[in-house]
Amino acid sequence: MDSLQQQNALSLLSGDEAVALAAFDSGVKLGTGYPGTPSTEILETFDKLGGKAQWAPNEKVALEVGIGVAFAGARALVTMKHVGLNVAADPLFTVAKIRLDGALIVVSADDPGMASSQNEQDNRRYAVAAGVPMLEPSDSQEAYEFTLRAIEISERWQVPVLLRMTTRVCHSKTIVRRGAVTIPAPRPAHFEHDFPSRVMIPAYARPAHLRLSKTLSEIAAWNEAEGPNQLVTGSSSLGIITSGVALQYVREAAPDASVLKLGMTYPLPLERMRAFAASVERCIVIEEGDPYLVEGARTAGIAVEAQPEIFRFGELNIPRVRRILKGDTSPEPKRAPGKAPALCPGCPHRSAYAILKELGCIVAGDIGCYSLGVLPPFEAMDTLVCMGAAIGVGLGLRHSLPPEDAKRVVSVIGDSTFVHSGITGLVEMIYNPPASGHVLVILDNGTTAMTGMQEHPGTGRTLDHAKTGKVVFEDLSRSLGVRNVYVNDPTQDPEEFKKLIQTCLDTPEISVVIARRNCLLAARSIREYERCNEQQTN
Amino acid sequence: MSSKPTNVVVAGLGGQGVLKASDILADVAFSAGLDVKKSEVHGMSQRGGSISSDVRFGERVFSPMVPQGEADFLLVIAADQVEVNRAALGQGGILIEPAQIDESSLPNKKSINVALLGVLSRHLQFPVEAWTAALERNLPEKLHEANLQSFSIGRAIGQAK
């Protein structure tokens, strides 16, 4: 950085990097999460800055660890992509009602338009459903400031706070002024017994629910008076209510409009919205994703115009906002199709898929690079639902299909996904085996490849690649009671892999086949980490 | 808005240095004290598929994405990605493509992204020192020499035009 930038403490950061910087500047004790585009870089950056960051096996565990940190009076940052919050929803709904001592910030990185996801759910709905206050940054500066604000709010009202980001906020780089907001230093970690506030048996959970309702009213009043909402005074003929990155498109598509940009979108500052709507001739709500703000406004009896339904799908941008303002719902120009992503040349998944296809398998698939096995030339993956679903879905198919088809069903899951939510599926496979048996293939390429080569419990290395405890899939499978457990490298020995799969398909027992070869892109780094770790041990 | 931002779209295939090129450009504009936003989508697109990155700079920038059909410059690193991205260009926008560079003149083929930045640099107001500094900040030291040379080759082509 040159001296000019240092003087002004300015830097060009992605939203993810800005969240990490704020977490670091505010003394967050622990950052934890599970990798997922577009959230992954938050913890990686937090680690590089010197913060304590770790990957959890999945988002539910990450959130539970974060809750523990906040019970100890410290500050926790828990990160995940939007679908990760489905996995962490169980603790989220209850911790919302529990009195925290420190801060608990849950980052949900939504992916409207599905750049790299299986759905485009709008996680603002979770804030309402669970009763968790929510902030929505619209650029990296706000990602920085709102992370700090979220910690303040969390500590002041002793509640978790949802920081809801979207792909364009996470991955766009914009200028950040560090130190624009400062908050008090964290208090030392400590523990006090507080049974009624933290033990959610029904007798204590009932008053806790009432307490949350009271807290949310207080926060709503605060949001009305001094929440991080922004008013741009422009023409009185057009007013736009918006939040998140949509603000940026609105400012360019309608530079003369009055704009009420909401930073805290749960609980909503309904009176501000009401006053704003009354101050302009035409008031329209422009938001990326679900009609969340517009429904909130209308439920409160605020007369606002909604954007046409078609703009609920995909990301917004300047041309789409222009269309919304004109009420133009004519077909939008399609972008020329580019080159589709594909399994890399030399990818170890290639030989596995070629063989599964050759054997005529019905493949219940899962989420990772190997999802690309659905595309030509392989077209060898038949289902994809959510993380870990390969096993359950494969078992369901086996239970229901006629015997000659049932015996062709194979579940395919990656190493990181297996640890994330495949282990319980394997337990189900042992507990409720189909009559025809079943075959689970773990495509173990030694890394969380799709999100950019993150470590996981199966690699035996921590987020920053240091040696730690390792979950060995073959040992785990055998210890659970699977008798047929095989390890093979289908790239090196495709004939053996083919024979193995055929043998497993032919037996009515359950089998686990681990297809093991490091991801081609990660192999060199993995060798280097192993070498460093060995040197340190010696 | 009094001054419209400059819109640049950098495009190519995953692994070609699209993001590196847009990082360097954004850094140059940032160092000049301008407002800058840069946007691209990570994830799936990195598996060898098409990828593009938008860089916008000026007095004040709101949207991180260049509106379709409003790019002032389209810099494409893969010849077969030119047509796929052509619609990004605005009227009077300038296309910068690999056909403008004799690849054999470069110290290594991988630095074509930086050579094309050299061509682009002729159209922008930033001093050459700012480009050199940004290249050095964004690349590992062992690659400095080759990339500075590629940049100069591209910049000379930009000049000849």
- Judged by a CB distance cut-off of 8 A, whether residue A445 touches chain B is no
pLDDT in tens, chain A (538 residues): 344 344 458 999 999 999 999 999 999 999 999 999 999 999 999 999 999 999 999 999 999 999 999 999 999 999 999 999 999 999 999 999 999 999 999 999 999 988 889 999 999 999 999 999 999 999 999 999 999 999 999 999 999 999 999 999 999 999 999 988 889 999 999 999 999 999 999 999 999 999 999 999 999 999 999 999 999 999 999 999 999 999 999 999 999 999 999 999 999 999 999 999 999 999 999 999 999 999 999 999 999 999 999 999 999 999 999 999 999 999 998 887 888 888 888 899 999 999 999 999 999 999 999 999 998 889 999 999 999 999 999 999 999 999 999 999 999 999 999 999 999 999 999 999 999 999 999 999 999 999 999 999 999 999 999 999 999 999 999 999 999 999 999 999 999 999 999 999 999 999 999 999 999 999 999 999 999 999 987 7
Q: What is the pLDDT of residues A260-306, one digit of tens each?
A: 999 999 999 999 999 999 999 999 999 999 999 999 999 999 999 99
pTM, two decimal places: 0.96
- The CATH T-level fold of domain A3-226 is Rossmann fold (3.40.50)
The shortest C-alpha distance from B60 to chain A (Å) reads 10
What count of CB pairs under 8 Å joins A to B? 121
Task: Give residues with Cβ within 8 angstroms of A524, minimum separation 6.
Answer: none
Domains of chain B: 6-160 (3.40.920.10)
Q: Are strands A438-444 and A510-516 parallel, antiparallel or unpaired?
A: parallel
Using a 10 angstrom Cβ sphere, with 0-12 exposed, 13-18 middle and 19 or more buried, the burial of residue A5 is middle
Q: What is the pLDDT of residues A390-434, one digit of tens each?
A: 999 999 999 999 999 999 999 999 999 999 999 999 999 999 999
Closest chain A CA to residue B67: A318
Q: Which of A451, A433, A489 is nearest to A371 (CA)?
A: A451
Task: Give me the architecture of the A230-326 domain, per CATH.
Answer: 3-Layer(aba) Sandwich (3.40)
Q: Where are the domains of chain A?
A: 3-226, 230-326, 348-537
Asked if A451 lies within 8 A of B43 by C-beta distance, the reply is yes
- Judged by a CB distance cut-off of 8 A, whether residue A332 touches chain B is no
Q: Do domains A3-226 and A348-537 have the same CATH topology?
A: yes
Query: What is the DSSP annotation of chain B?
Result: --SPPEEEEEEEETTSSHHHHHHHHHHHHHHTT-EEEEEE--SGGGTTSEEEEEEEEES----SSPPTT-EEEEEESSGGGHHHHGGGEEEEEEEE-GGGS-GGGSS-GGGHHHHHHHHHHTTS---HHHHHHHHHHHS-GGGHHHHHHHHHHHHHHHHH-
Q: Which of B25, B41, B57, B76 would best serve as a mutation to test chain A binding (most A beta carbons within 10 A)? A: B41
Q: What is the pLDDT of residues B98-144, one digit of tens each?
A: 999 999 999 999 999 999 999 999 999 999 999 999 999 999 999 99
Whether the Cβ atoms of residue B36 and residue B63 lie closer than 8 Å to each other: no
Q: Which of B65, B77, B126 would best serve as a mutation to test chain A binding (most A beta carbons within 10 A)? A: B65
Identify the CATH class of A348-537.
alpha beta
- Judged by a CB distance cut-off of 8 A, whether residue A462 touches chain B is no
Q: Contacts for B92-98 with beta carbons within 8 Å, 24 or more apart?
A: B94/B123, B96/B120
Q: Which of B44, B45, B59 would best serve as a mutation to test chain A binding (most A beta carbons within 10 A)? A: B44
Facing B39 at nearest CB: one of A168, A247, A341: A168
- Judged by a CB distance cut-off of 8 A, whether residue A285 touches chain B is no
- Complex ipTM: 0.94
The shortest C-alpha distance from A459 to chain B (Å) reads 21
Give the per-residue SS3 of A155-170: HHHCCCEEEEEEHHHH
Tell me the residue type at B109. K
Tokens of A273: 């919205």
Closest chain A CA to residue B39: A172
Asked if B68 lies within 8 A of A319 by C-beta distance, the reply is yes
